Structure 1
Amino acid sequence: MPISAKTRAGIAALAIAAAALPAIGQDRPESLLPPGFGDNQPTPTPRATGNGPASLLPPSVAASPGQPGAIVQPLPTDTPSPTPSATPTPTPMDAKALADYELPPFARRSLALVGPGGVDGGLPADAFGRADGRYLEGLMRSLDAPLPSRWMSILLRRTLASQLRTPRNVNGADFAAERAWLLLRMGESVAARAVAQSVDTGNASRKLLEVAMNTSLATGDPGGLCPLADRGRQATGERGWVMAQAMCAGLSGNATAAKSLMAQARRRRVAEGVDLRLAQKVSGAGPGGGQAVTIEWSPADTLTVWRFGLASATGVAIPAEMFATTGSQVRYWQALSPSVGDADRLPYAEAAAGQGVLSNAALVDLFGAIDEGDDVPAAASAAASDLRVAYVGGDTDARIGAIRQLWGEAAATPYARLVLTARAAARLPVGEGLEDADRLVASMLSAGLDRSAARWRGRVTQGGDAWAMIALADPDRGGRLTYNAVAGYGGTGDAALKQRLFFAGLAGLGRLTPEDAQRAAEALEVPVGASNAWTQALDRAVMAREPGTVVLLCAVGLQTPAWRGVPPATLYRITAALTAVGLDGYARMIAAEAIARA
């Protein structure tokens, strides 16, 4: 599988660092392990000067500036970024903004603590500690999403959507905008909107206004633009806000003003073609709108955030070929859209579940709705029926057969099908269907059912994939494995790569002694002690006890389209760092996922 320039650069950096290590096989080799191995407390290194993460990544990852609120902005894979933060300190509101503030003083939210809060598995408010906000914004802006790991994506979403203290040297609204923009690029449109809306309208910065337009459109919610429309037009002058004023007039029931504003926009060529007609359709949906608008997609040849959002809001079907002009994140937005029918949403939902945007429960609920619905495609109906049998079939053989059918050759997204069957697999009697143990265990762990998977510990074949995943994921495992356990593992597929990933995961989780880890590192040629700018930054974040910074840096380390592109030494560093800051549950799931998907 081809790998990206970012991956090649990352591998090259690791290779350069590894070249400085002593050759394997010398009489008395120096340790390949990093300082402090075994206690998950890396030795601190001198803090680098400078405020940004430029030294961590090759120049190619720098995102180009863009205007995400503009009607014509397309959404290719390399989604443009919003305007970078211009001011390092909060900017006070002027007198007019204070006068226009609608909330009473007791209801106003501070920019010192921003985020929707109440996130399951979220991080504490001080997750970024004393980290410089400009540095954190640079890390977020440099991230190429979506990530190859479902569990890393879940952890990153929960981190970004937590209620967090604004780091030093950045404006709280700007920092929220950067978080929301990364969530959008990950496909997490609902979480992105929640973060953007956690800032009061009166505190919205220019960058937040740009991102807020994108979050409202990505969720098919043009009404979300209305509280910001006047402020957005005044602050940015972008065409999107001009059209938003006209749409919001219609949505509020002021049909006369809406028609007048639309006519002005048409004369001034603010928008035309499908962009104008979609806006007219939204405006006409309000009370007294009274105008029927027919949408003709031709000659439009790209799907922009404007077209996606307004079409989703008005129930206009988007031609399937238009999605080929976008990044995969737009398909995840589609999976989260309530305006799309269940059967039409299914292929997008499966892809989103494989990425971590949808949970096992949400995907099962969607199949349940399809099972109860009428006039659904035969393939979707058959899969829903198989899932029902997998959960509540009359006997174990029928349930196992249904699970196998769901995993069958026709599945377009095989890992998503493992997510779908996770709880059905957990309901099977331990040891039933042992010939499928590797996929049954991988299925359970895809949804975090670690103790359900651990029940199979004594029944699976030692040295196989299921055994390795349980050894990594078991939360109650006592003691450590030996070098012989690593040497005896032979996974299916690329056995050599899986063995190296297995070692890296065990070492990062502290499940090998230093002596056995040193021996395995030499035998498998995994330079877990290699040092570069990224590992040094990760060590500093661990020593500073900054779990939020650690999560961002771990995500930076996964800049590759698939698990096969992740160097084992990188997996070691990620699992070790997450374990050290108390995120060991995620570290275990990431390590097991590497075995399941490599």
Structure 2
Amino acid sequence: MKRWRSKILLLAGVAGLGFALPALGQRETPEPLLPPGFGDQDTAPTPAPPSPDTEESGAPAGNALPPVAAEPSVAASDRPVIENAAVEDLEDLAAQEIVPPIEIPEESRRPTNIVGPLRAENWGLGFNAFGSAHGRLLTSLMGRLDAPLPSRWTSILLRRALLSEVPAPRQVNEVDWVAERAWLLLRMGEADSARMLVQAIDVDQYTPRMFTVAVQTALATADPAALCPLVGPGKAVSEERFWPLAEAMCAALSGDAARASALIDQQRRRMGETIDLLLAEKVVGAGTNTRRAVTIQWDGVDSVNSWRFGLASATGLKIPDALMRSAGPHVRAWEAQAPMIPIEQRLKSAQDAATIGVFSNAALVDIHSLVGDATDPSEIEASVAGRLRRAYASPTYGARIGAMRDLWGDEEIGGDRYGRLILTAAAAAEVPALESQSNRAEDLIASAMSAGFDRRASRWGRIVDAMGDDGDRAWSILAVGTPRPVVDVSRSRVEAFVDRDGGHRGRMLVAALAGLGRLEDPASLGVDPAPRSRWAQMITAAARNRQPGTVALLAAVGMQTGGWQGVPPHHLYQMLRALRQVGLDYEARMIAAEAMTRL
């Protein structure tokens, strides 16, 4: 059985809300990723609301919460017609009981009440990150969250919160709590992070919800072997149609070719020649002595789900670009991390992964460098790797900046322009503040800030200040992103910026400066600081109760929109203020700098 991985990228450098909690109803339950009959979820009964006297819940009595964890459906299947004794024998072979799982000694069992790989000294948010917040409220917020988020830095912070070593909150099943965290990480594109949480629970402790999430995690990480410990206990929990296919793949991977073939043939009679069966048969063909060669044709396939992604990626099959583009950025982030996919095919997905916070600047540079190592020397100079090398090592700063500009404007690299700024972040941070390069200050500052190089970006303060109106965009990034003010943030300077901008970006700057404690009376400049919505009251209460994990989750809730243009200024103010109150000043500044860069 394939050994599970534990590697994770820990660092990055990785239409409006409606506006408050009522808009969270956009997603009552996680969107199913498997095809019909492959893990579809029925809507579970709506749980009872939390106690009205719970301050952390922020929900009044009688306001019912959505389902915490949908149970797998039971898919009915017709028995095949037995036409002859040989087929009956094969049926009997396929129906044999699999070897029961090894029992874990009691003293070797891992706890389920405290789970998470990140401690406070290792980028976690602390043991009390969620404090005494109501468990059903937290899992409800996680389940309704529409991910990936529009903000890279908010996503990075939320990942740290979800991976923090924390106890299970009250009134929620301990294992289901871990499952909801892993499921949200999957939807954020964090397949390897989700796997770390799933692996932390012993299989014999799984709930039906955890079985569902564990299957999705195995597929998102393109690791069919990870399904094998789940098959026996999973079949006892539900009769999902994918279990026989998973059992066939595991039989092949363990060398039992006859049983694998019997199971596949049995499912072919029930399902027909579907793409989902053929992909499973492709995995079976990779086993020992199976003698099965399968050709996969994507004609007629109109979508990519986790089953198709996971099995195709595990066998090194290329999924057509049109299908991958329709799959969503979180699936492209899974692709960027899939080890069996040729690295050249993962480049554009890696850019998408960086934009949503899954890949760091260092990871992006590494993947392009690996491709560069395999590039013909005669072609290296024109490649991304060659241009990156010039951005880092050209003899003059002008030449370095020229190479960076070339990368920023090359849409063939993949991702959006912000993703390409992340690619050059470390190189941009190495460029000193030069008056001769002041016309490129905005891009250099934005690139450095995208990966968190705030102190190096601060060196441009004096030059940007001297640029006056011509340096407005660079000034706005420095005004909110540096550890201490290095540019003029007087009220008159802010008012002048708002007058010239006259739109959303100006109000967002006011909200960011006020949220960071660098501007008084934001109301007079069009940003209401009062926590009037239910969401604002909840994040304010979480900050007051010193719950950084709850604040991080609610900050993500406040960004339920397709892009930064949809984030309301008063939401940005409340989330930055709350982050500062719980000691996350750096993260607050990076989120504000990202807003000024991407608006």
**TM-score in terms of structure 2 length:** 0.82
Indicate whether 1:9 and 2:18 are aligned: yes
Identity %: 44
**Who is 2:97 aligned against?**
none
**Who is 1:506 aligned against?**
513
**Who is 1:262 aligned against?**
264
C-alpha distance 496-378 of structure 1, shift in aligned 2 (>3 A): farther
CA offsets per residue over residues 164-183 of structure 1, 9 Å max, x none? 21111111111111111111
CA offsets per residue over residues 58-80 of structure 1, 9 Å max, x none? 36424247665666669xxxx98
CA offsets per residue over residues 84-109 of structure 1, 9 Å max, x none? 8989999xxxxxxxx96632223211
**Distance in 1 (alpha carbons) for counterparts of 2:555 and 2:214:** 27
Query: Over the residues paired in the alignment, what is the CA RMSD in angstroms?
Result: 2.9
**Who is 1:242 aligned against?**
244
Give yes or no for contact 2:220–2:309 (8 Å, CA) kept in 1. Answer: yes
Which residue of 152, 158, 161 maps to 1:159? Answer: 161
1:263 shift after superposition? 2.1
**Superposed counterparts of 1:445-460, under 5 Å:** 445-460=449-464
Which residue of 131, 140, 143 maps to 1:141? Answer: 143
C-alpha distance 500-592 of structure 1, shift in aligned 2 (>3 A): same
**Who is 2:437 aligned against?**
433
**Distance in 1 (alpha carbons) for counterparts of 2:568 and 2:174:** 36
Gaps of 5+ in 2: 1-14, 51-67, 70-99
Give yes or no for contact 1:71–1:305 (8 Å, CA) kept in 2. Answer: no
**Superposed counterparts of 1:246-325, under 5 Å:** 246-269=248-271, 272-325=273-326
1:329 shift after superposition? 1.4
**Distance in 2 (alpha carbons) for counterparts of 1:566 and 1:201:** 41
**Distance in 1 (alpha carbons) for counterparts of 2:437 and 2:102:** 63
Give yes or no for contact 1:65–1:82 (8 Å, CA) kept in 2. Answer: no
C-alpha distance 313-86 of structure 1, shift in aligned 2 (>3 A): farther
**Who is 2:347 aligned against?**
346
1:530 shift after superposition? 4.6
1:526 shift after superposition? 1.3
**Distance in 1 (alpha carbons) for counterparts of 2:546 and 2:531:** 22
Local SS of the residue matching 1:406 = helix
1:135 shift after superposition? 0.4
C-alpha distance 530-166 of structure 1, shift in aligned 2 (>3 A): closer
**Superposed counterparts of 1:584-595, under 5 Å:** 584-595=585-596
**Distance in 2 (alpha carbons) for counterparts of 1:280 and 1:243:** 8
1:137 shift after superposition? 0.5
**Distance in 1 (alpha carbons) for counterparts of 2:333 and 2:381:** 19
**Distance in 2 (alpha carbons) for counterparts of 1:342 and 1:68:** 25
**Who is 2:80 aligned against?**
none
Give yes or no for contact 2:119–2:127 (8 Å, CA) kept in 1. Answer: no
C-alpha distance 209-86 of structure 1, shift in aligned 2 (>3 A): farther
**Who is 1:470 aligned against?**
478
Gaps of 5+ in 1: 14-55, 91-98
Which residue of 186, 191, 194 maps to 2:193? Answer: 191
1:260 shift after superposition? 1.8
**Who is 1:18 aligned against?**
none
Instruction: Tell me whether 552-561 or 525-534 shows the greater mean CA deviation.
Output: 525-534
**Distance in 1 (alpha carbons) for counterparts of 2:37 and 2:371:** 36
Give yes or no for contact 1:82–1:211 (8 Å, CA) kept in 2. Answer: no
Matched AA of 1:469: I
Give yes or no for contact 2:454–2:481 (8 Å, CA) kept in 1. Answer: yes
**Who is 2:371 aligned against?**
370
Matched AA of 2:431: L
Matched AA of 2:433: V
1:380 shift after superposition? 10
Which residue of 50, 57, 60 maps to 2:22? Answer: 57
Give yes or no for contact 1:262–1:280 (8 Å, CA) kept in 2. Answer: yes
**Distance in 1 (alpha carbons) for counterparts of 2:113 and 2:286:** 38
**Who is 2:95 aligned against?**
none
**Who is 1:496 aligned against?**
503
Local SS of the residue matching 2:383 = helix
Instruction: Tell me whether 495-504 or 313-322 shows the greater mean CA deviation.
Output: 495-504
**Distance in 2 (alpha carbons) for counterparts of 1:147 and 1:106:** 41
The number of aligned residues is: 529
Local SS of the residue matching 1:57 = helix
**Who is 1:487 aligned against?**
495
Matched AA of 1:296: Q
**TM-score in terms of structure 1 length:** 0.82
Matched AA of 1:301: D
1:327 shift after superposition? 2.3
Indicate whether 1:214 and 2:216 are aligned: yes
Give yes or no for contact 1:67–1:83 (8 Å, CA) kept in 2. Answer: no
C-alpha distance 454-80 of structure 1, shift in aligned 2 (>3 A): farther
**Distance in 2 (alpha carbons) for counterparts of 1:491 and 1:443:** 26
Local SS of the residue matching 2:371 = helix
Give yes or no for contact 2:475–2:487 (8 Å, CA) kept in 1. Answer: no
CA offsets per residue over residues 208-261 of structure 1, 9 Å max, x none? 100111111011001111111111111011111221111111111111221122
1:511 shift after superposition? 1.6
**Distance in 2 (alpha carbons) for counterparts of 1:158 and 1:276:** 37
Give yes or no for contact 1:67–1:82 (8 Å, CA) kept in 2. Answer: no
Give yes or no for contact 2:130–2:549 (8 Å, CA) kept in 1. Answer: yes
Which residue of 416, 421, 430 maps to 1:418? Answer: 421
C-alpha distance 175-189 of structure 1, shift in aligned 2 (>3 A): same
CA offsets per residue over residues 452-500 of structure 1, 9 Å max, x none? 11111112134522222222121144999431231233699x5532222
Indicate whether 1:444 and 2:451 are aligned: no
C-alpha distance 81-547 of structure 1, shift in aligned 2 (>3 A): farther
C-alpha distance 420-273 of structure 1, shift in aligned 2 (>3 A): same
Matched AA of 2:265: A
Indicate whether 1:384 and 2:388 are aligned: no
C-alpha distance 394-324 of structure 1, shift in aligned 2 (>3 A): closer
**Distance in 1 (alpha carbons) for counterparts of 2:18 and 2:328:** 22
**Distance in 2 (alpha carbons) for counterparts of 1:416 and 1:429:** 22
Instruction: Tell me whether 168-177 or 377-386 shows the greater mean CA deviation.
Output: 377-386
C-alpha distance 244-215 of structure 1, shift in aligned 2 (>3 A): same
CA offsets per residue over residues 296-342 of structure 1, 9 Å max, x none? 22332221211110000001111112224422211111111122222
**Who is 1:25 aligned against?**
none
1:283 shift after superposition? 1.6
**Distance in 2 (alpha carbons) for counterparts of 1:402 and 1:72:** 51
